[in-house]
Amino acid sequence: MTAGMTVVLMMAAGLSLPGLVHCFQPLFSFNGNSTTHRDITQRAVLRKTAEVCRDIAASEGRDFSLTIDDSLSAGKVQEACSSTGTSTSLLSSVIFQTSIANMYFSNAKVDVVFALSEEHHFDDETFQGGRDVITAGVAAVKASVKLENFVAGRWTLGRVCHTLQDFYSHSNWVELGNKAPYSALIRPDQPLENLADVSTPTCRNCTGGNCDNNLLPDLLQQGLLTSGYFNIFSSAKPAGKCSHGGSFDQTSRQDPVGGISKDDIGSSHGSLHHTAADLAVNATMELLEDIRAAVGDKNFLRLMGLSQSSVLCFVIDTTGSMSDDIAEAKRVSFNIIDSKRGTQQEPSAYILVPFNDPGFGPLIITTNADVFKDNINKLSASGGGDIPEKCLSGLQLALTAAPPSSEIFVFTDAPAKDAHLKSTITALIESTKSVVTFMLTDVLASRRRRRNSDRLSSRAMNQMDAQLYRDLAQASGGQAIEVTKSDLSVATSVIEDSSASAVVTVFQVVRNPGRPDNFTFTVDGSLRNMTAYVTGASSLTFNLTSSSGLSQSSSQSSGPLASSTTAGNLRRLSLNTDNQTGSWQISVDSNSPYSVKVTGQSSVNFIFNLVEAHEGAHGDFSLKEGRPLSGGNVSLLVSVTGSNTLTVSEVTLFDSSGPTEVNGSVQSIGSGNFLVTFSGVPAGNFVVRLKGEDSSATSRSSHSSFQRQASTQIRTSSISVTAQANNTNVEPGSTISIPFTVATTTSGFVNTSATGTFTVRANNDRDYTSSSPSTVTAAAGSGGTANGTVTLTVPGSAVSGTDVTLTIEAENAAASDVNYAVLRLSVIAKVTDTTRPVCQVISTSTNCSSSSPLCSSSKWEFVANFTDGVNGTGIDSITVRQGNGTLNTSTVAGVGGENITVINYSASCCAQNVELTAVDNVGNVGTCVGQARESTTAAPVTTAAVNTTSTGGHTLSMSRCLWLTAAVSLLWK
């Protein structure tokens, strides 16, 4: 057994023991009084996002009425940030809520991946190591944002926040009487001061279980910083040192006994728990502010996921027969762009992935609609070689680049040459919860290809080829729309439907094999613009019945309940639901496979995430990667958005293609969040359906039953796959090894007596060189587990900030069952530049009038130099953070060879303050502030260069002349 595997097994053993969690609770506080990492992260994100929106509104002269405090919700912030005073579009906070969830789930995952790492928790007085973790993580976040890899940036940010937040729970910062965050933790160019050295005693024994006064008085008087020691295997610690404390910390049993943890109200220093949590919130906001200054307000809001609209994402076959399809993709995308530009429904980003054979890509991701237009305009249909194309390789790029819960549209008329990627694509669909709809042209009606000399006809896919796309569409909650090329323009209406704001799925079902059936769905008062999609054979018929008893058959293209259009296998019905809330029914008559999907626009929606329980005293949960285990318990964290008056009565897992249905036990954990537990979920494919009552004022009736359904399927598996990377940041030119474990399970638990061989597939979306065993075997005496290692080599040319998604799959010998682990890695160059750009003020001149009515006729000027030093990475950008004057910059060489950026700023005397922000090429931020004061003379005043020295975040000294008409200071942020 390798050393790496030993560590993984030790961690697994430790995580199965009670009470291992030694930090703020990751996700839930079941006693209702303690603050969790989830709470801290969400509070900080909401407050900082609201502050940015407030500042943007102020700069644009708009009102911003939201009170920024700890009572904020994602919906309140979304509404305040989206307000333009004239918009009547529906608001949805689903994208924002999903992004916040990604951050706090990543935060909680630190307690699983790095459970025994003192650096990641500021244990054992490892202050420098903890700050190094934060420094590297923040650099990775900034690099990811620079490349617009916002998904990777959120996952990294969540991990960084965990370490930063733990400092306030695990150290004695609070006990020292500090009321503000320790800013040096996020400023690596500042010293960590007053640290207790290894020989300095810090604690005494707790008395009778009371640890309130166990910190030594000398430590407090000298203001020395310490943190508790923690070890689950050994009681050894340096003499006289504090322990973390708790039933699982072995060091807390050795003198001095007890601990100083403030993880929850029941901890050794639990009386200070809420003070520590509040400081952790403020520290997280300080970290977010640093990132904001580095990336700018627009990109910061994108990092937070504050968007009213989803991305527009196309994956397009560019081979010879696709000219009509490409033209239609251009038409529909241009129509969406031109009709929504400048509105709240404008796509938040644009993604384009072309594919053919033998190539696919490059991936184009941009927020600039014109850039997207230019790139899609450049697409042309040519070549293609043999018939199959690399469709799934292109789709893999889109799935890993697009934000979670995106809708992706694939255009093709050819089979997939890379069908072996089907399970990888399915894993990514389930992991990202993205919806994939295939626009398939000229699918042959029979399984046999036509034989003729026509090149275009010979490319057409048969039914078996198309079934691959249908399976993937079903797994994602999308559709496989099969049309002729001449009818494609009618079918693409589904793309325009999906680009509307606040689209929700009310009901969706697939019948394969087909059979006649009756389906009901609930129309609530918040729903608008409802649409039903029915796909199936041309012989399919249906009948629609409203809650008031009105009916309409499929033979009526226009009737009392809907107007419909038909294109290929798609029937699109625009429903008339006015004053007809309640239970509707659609009866389908077909023995061929078919699907039914009902959508609408509504602010009321929900998101869900699979979570898994950790046994022990804390009884908390973390994000569950991969598929849940057949026959075991399944837990979901469900978050409902769009109403404060929702009552959830039922959450169900049901097989959309069969009769199996499992009801969950629903436990409210506050603020629209519910923990739902399902017992003994059998093998199968399930979707989540939520029902309840809504009495919100937006409903057309005082009380309205509502129903929503998640798009993505949940598949159970009898295979367990676990994999953990020791480091999620990988340097260019390096190789990382990732151990994994595979096991057969019974009733949700590892079958320790099982033996067998599993097929292993490891794929990454960057096509980086990797190696892995093709099979692993659980032999007799192995405890039912099989182990292996995947190695991934990042090329030296990889750009810092690039994200890599690695999928490790294991399939049983019968090829009837598969499970997977998905790991997200970031390529980050080693951080060598931690020095912030330095500002040197050259001069301030003014002829501002002392009479305010005359201020617009006078101007003042500010001149300064910014430099990043000889060994710095260079200044990337300089922006005006505050002020509405004119900024001009030029670059000159300094006497030491460094590049100096010369700043000339001028403004009206009506705006007598300026704040300039300089960001270097790795995201270090320096800020310069100037202020003009009223003058009784118009003569310019010039000052000598001002040198400043900074430590601990405060300016220590600055030359001043009392007669200056302008005061200038240097602030570090």
pLDDT band at 910 (very low <50, low <70, confident <90, very high): confident
Residue with tokens 């992004």: 99
Q: How far is CA 22 from CA 18, 125, 705, 819, in A?
A: 11, 15, 42, 30
Residues 473, 430 contacting (CB under 8 angstroms): no
Over residues 61-120, the pLDDT tens digits come to 889 989 999 999 999 999 899 865 444 567 889 999 999 999 999 999 998 888 889 999
Over residues 384-399, the pLDDT tens digits come to 556 788 999 999 999 9
Residue 954, judged by CB atoms within 10 A of its CB (0-12, 13-18, 19+), counts as: exposed
* Mean pLDDT confidence for 616-642: 85
At 728 the three-state DSSP class reads coil
Amino acid letter, 249: D
Query: What letter does residue 609 receive in the DSSP assignment?
Result: E
Among residues 801, 798, 766, the alpha carbon closest in space to that of 295 is found at 801
Among residues 96, 109, 38, 95, the alpha carbon closest in space to that of 824 is found at 109
Among residues 909, 891, 908, the alpha carbon closest in space to that of 900 is found at 891
Torsion 4-802-142-71 (CA) sign: negative
* Mean pLDDT confidence for 704-715: 92
Among residues 92, 28, 183, 3, the alpha carbon closest in space to that of 612 is found at 28
Measured from the Cβ of residue 385, the count of other Cβ atoms closer than 10 Å reads 12
Q: How far is CA 192 from CA 64, 279, 973, in A?
A: 39, 18, 17
Over residues 300-321, the pLDDT tens digits come to 999 999 886 789 999 999 998 8
Residue 56 backbone phi and psi in degrees, to 5: -65, -45
CA distance 347 to 313: 10
Q: How far is CA 679 from CA 383, 608, 631, 653, in A?
A: 53, 17, 8, 11
Q: Which tokens sit at 536?
A: 């199936």
CA distance 281 to 287: 10
Strand order in the sheet with 503-511: 503-511, 594-601, 528-535, 570-575, 562-567
Residues 917, 927 contacting (CB under 8 angstroms): yes
338 backbone φψ class: left, alpha, beta (φ>0; ψ -120 to 50): alpha
Residue count of the chain:
973
4-8, 386-390, 511-515 — which is least confidently predicted? 4-8
CA distance 37 to 131: 19
* Mean pLDDT confidence for 579-598: 94
Residues 677, 639 contacting (CB under 8 angstroms): no
Over residues 363-380, the pLDDT tens digits come to 999 989 999 999 999 999
* Mean pLDDT confidence for 788-793: 97
Query: What letter does residue 627 receive in the DSSP assignment?
Result: P
Q: Element (H or E) spanning 810, and its range?
A: strand 803-811
Over residues 158-201, the pLDDT tens digits come to 999 999 999 999 999 999 999 999 999 999 999 999 999 999 99
Alpha helices (H) along 60-178 = 74-82, 94-113, 127-146, 150-170
- Give the percent of the chain with pLDDT over 90: 68
CA distance 92 to 497: 16
Torsion 949-955-961-966 (CA) sign: positive
pLDDT band at 717 (very low <50, low <70, confident <90, very high): very high
pTM comes to 0.89
Say what the pLDDT of residue 671 is.
Answer: 85
Beta-bridge mates of residue 880: 916
Orientation angle between helical segments 463-476 and 422-432, nearest 10 degrees: 20
Highest-confidence range of 5-19, 270-284, 347-361, by mean pLDDT?
270-284
Question: Which residues contact residue 876 at a Cβ distance below 8 angstroms, ignoring those fewer than 6 apart?
Answer: 919, 920, 921
Say what the pLDDT of residue 898 is.
Answer: 84
* pLDDT tops 80 at residue 276: yes
Measured from the Cβ of residue 574, the count of other Cβ atoms closer than 10 Å reads 16
Cα radius of gyration rounded to whole Å, the chain = 30
Q: Which tokens sit at 815?
A: 């090829």
Residues 823, 725 contacting (CB under 8 angstroms): yes
CA distance 310 to 433: 13
Amino acid letter, 546: S
* Mean pLDDT confidence for 113-141: 95
Residue with tokens 């079941």: 30
Q: Element (H or E) spanning 589, and its range?
A: strand 582-589
* pLDDT tops 80 at residue 224: yes
* pLDDT tops 80 at residue 221: yes
Say what the pLDDT of residue 69 is.
Answer: 93
Determine the Cα angle at 424 with ends 419 and 430, to 5°. Answer: 125
- Give the percent of the chain with pLDDT over 70: 88
Chain centroid to CA 551: 44
Each residue of 674-702: b (16+ CB within 10 Å) or e? bbbebeebeebbbbbbbebebebeebbee
- 935 or 48, higher pLDDT: 48
Among residues 31, 29, 34, the alpha carbon closest in space to that of 169 is found at 34
Determine the Cα angle at 250 with ends 246 and 253, to 5°. Answer: 80
pLDDT band at 342 (very low <50, low <70, confident <90, very high): confident
CA distance 506 to 527: 9
Say what the pLDDT of residue 871 is.
Answer: 82
CA distance 656 to 634: 18
Say what the pLDDT of residue 957 is.
Answer: 28
CA distance 25 to 262: 11
* Mean pLDDT confidence for 756-764: 96
Residues 935, 847 contacting (CB under 8 angstroms): yes
Q: How far is CA 678 from CA 253, 548, 613, 673, 914, in A?
A: 39, 35, 13, 16, 58
Amino acid letter, 14: G
* Mean pLDDT confidence for 947-962: 29
Say what the pLDDT of residue 951 is.
Answer: 30
pLDDT band at 344 (very low <50, low <70, confident <90, very high): confident
* Mean pLDDT confidence for 290-296: 96
Orientation angle between helical segments 297-304 and 37-59, nearest 10 degrees: 150
* pLDDT tops 60 at residue 973: no
* Mean pLDDT confidence for 908-927: 91
pLDDT averaged over the chain? 87
CA distance 58 to 620: 42
* Mean pLDDT confidence for 907-929: 91
Question: Which residues contact residue 467 at a Cβ distance below 8 angstroms, ignoring those fewer than 6 apart?
Answer: none
* pLDDT tops 70 at residue 937: no
Say what the pLDDT of residue 18 is.
Answer: 35
* pLDDT tops 50 at residue 469: yes
DSSP assignment of 512-564 equals: SS---EEEEEEE-TT-EEEEEEEE--TT-EEEEE-TTS-EEETT-SB-SSEEE
Question: Which residues contact residue 531 at a Cβ distance below 8 angstroms, ignoring those fewer than 6 apart?
Answer: 497, 572, 573, 574, 575, 598, 599, 600
315-324, 582-591, 605-614, 702-711 — which is least confidently predicted? 702-711
* pLDDT tops 70 at residue 294: yes
Question: Which residues contact residue 849 at a Cβ distance below 8 angstroms, ignoring those fewer than 6 apart?
Answer: 855, 857, 858, 909, 934
Cis omega before residue 513 (within 30°)? Answer: yes
